């Protein structure tokens, strides 16, 4: 005689709702969020190449979006996601190698990542807007 297995109704981790927001957890969530955004951005980049190879008219449609306000925000946002994920990714690689696990170090490296990615994004925007 067999017993039908009961569906598992236990809550599954991660239990995000029981944590008080703190820098380290917010940066961890942001790493995943920017990673997802960059994956979509990689498809967008691939589309850029495909349109550039297709025809001047197809490219004009693509450029039309890029040069609109929405397009500028998407590209500028992509830059922030790239800089943040890059800097925090390097932070992760140091953790993988066994460095920087002390709470004090994790906070310090976290703030450095925030500062560098914000500054790099701001510089990119300023230089990019001057070139237009």
- CA 72 to CA 58: how far, in whole Å? 19
- The total number of residues shown for the chain amounts to 132
H helices of 8-102, in order, are 23-54, 56-66, 69-96
Q: Which is nearer to other proteins, 12 or 103 (CB)?
A: 12
Please, which of residues 109-128 interact with other proteins by CB under 8 A? 120, 124, 127-128
Among 23, 26, 29, 90, binds other proteins (CB under 8 A): 90
- CA 9 to CA 12: how far, in whole Å? 9
Q: Is 100 helix (H, G, I), strand (E, B) or coil?
A: coil
Site residues (CB under 8 A) for other proteins?
12, 14, 32, 35-36, 38-39, 42-43, 45-47, 49-50, 52-54, 56, 59-60, 63, 75, 79, 82-83, 86, 89-90, 92-93, 96, 120, 124, 127-129, 131-132
């Amino acid at each position: 005689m067999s017993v039908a297995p009961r569906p598992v109704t236990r809550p599954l981790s991660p239990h995000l709702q029981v944590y008080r927001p703190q820098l380290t957890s917010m940066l961890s969530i942001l790493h995943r969020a920017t990673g997802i955004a960059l994956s979509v951005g990689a498809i967008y980049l691939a589309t850029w190449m495909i349109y550039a190879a297709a025809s001047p008219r197809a490219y004009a449609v693509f450029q039309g979006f890029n040069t609109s306000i929405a397009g500028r925000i998407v590209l500028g946002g992509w830059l922030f996601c790239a800089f943040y994920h890059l800097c925090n990714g390097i932070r992760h690689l140091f953790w993988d190698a066994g460095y920087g696990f002390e709470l004090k170090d994790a906070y310090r490296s976290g703030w450095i990542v925030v500062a560098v990615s914000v500054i790099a994004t701001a510089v990119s925007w300023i230089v990019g807007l001057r070139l237009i």
